[in-house]
Amino acid sequence: MNNIEIPTVTNSQATNSSLKLKVIISLLILLIIGILVGASFYCFQLQKYFVTQEKSLQENIKSLQQTLTQQQEVLQKFSHQQKNTDNELLIAEVSYLIKTAHLALLLENDTPQAINSLTMAKKHLIAKPEFTTLVTAIDQDISTLQTVAAIDLKTLGARLEKLMQQLVNADTTPTMPQSKSVTPQSSLPWWRKFLVSILQELKNAVIIKKNTATDSSWLTNEQLTSATLQIQLRLLQAEWAVIQKDPVLYQTALKNASLELQKYFAQRATTLELLQELKALRQINLPAQSNIKASLEALKKIRN
């Protein structure tokens, strides 16, 4: 049998192998340490980058928030100005309607027109809660006007004017002058007619002294004419009371006209008819002057 040679490891070889192994292990450890140091440095730099980016992002967010806040303030300011402008236009329109209602009552005593104007004003404000006080005042005035008795004041004025014309045309004296001033121009409104009549009739009016006699036979033609003018002035006072809606003056003027007609013309055939018409006119309850004081005061507070 052949002899097999077994290699023998010398001490020097073993030492070299051990040294190589230690070197390799050391290199591996250094490599791992380097990787760990590199990774740590990278993580540090990455963290630093993230912190910087986060800070920058926060600053950008803060800047955007400030910009957004400024824009919101601008929008709110514009919206407020727009709302104020809209409210100013609304109040101007409502003010016009309320003043229209006021003039309708003051100049024409036209209660339906006044109610219509106030109703239109209320419709403009119904969706505006900031004007609740004004709406309440308008409702109050509308309710007040609706309770006023429905009297055709133009027709009432025309009746008074007709009565005054009948007095002029009555056969109170053969020589009584027919004054053109008693019959104003037909083209003028009735309320302007009697104003013209007042100015013209006052020029010739004569105050008649009290006398206990009830017969006109003791009066001269001039005194009869003056008595007629005196009664006409009473009727003009009644017409003026209709315009001003003054029930006290209205009743007083008609009462005095009736008394003076009975006193100076009791014996005339036409006197009874005139007295009956005066009595019918006195039975009309003239309403007092209507107003929309609540609406006007509420509107004044808003505009101030």
Per-residue pLDDT of the chain (304 residues; tens, 9 = 90+): 455 555 555 666 667 777 778 888 888 888 888 888 888 888 888 888 888 888 888 888 888 888 777 777 777 776 666 556 778 888 889 999 999 998 888 777 778 889 999 999 999 888 888 889 999 999 999 988 887 756 666 777 788 888 878 877 764 443 333 444 444 455 556 655 665 566 565 545 444 444 444 455 556 777 878 888 888 888 888 888 887 778 888 899 999 999 988 888 887 788 888 888 889 888 888 777 678 889 999 988 887 7
Residue spans per domain, the chain: 19-148, 153-282
- Cα Rg of the chain (Å, integer): 53
The residue among 273, 272, 274, 240 whose CA lies nearest residue 257 is: 274
The beta-carbon contacts of 80-89 under 8 Å, at least 24 apart in sequence, are 87/128, 87/130
pTM of the full structure: 0.44
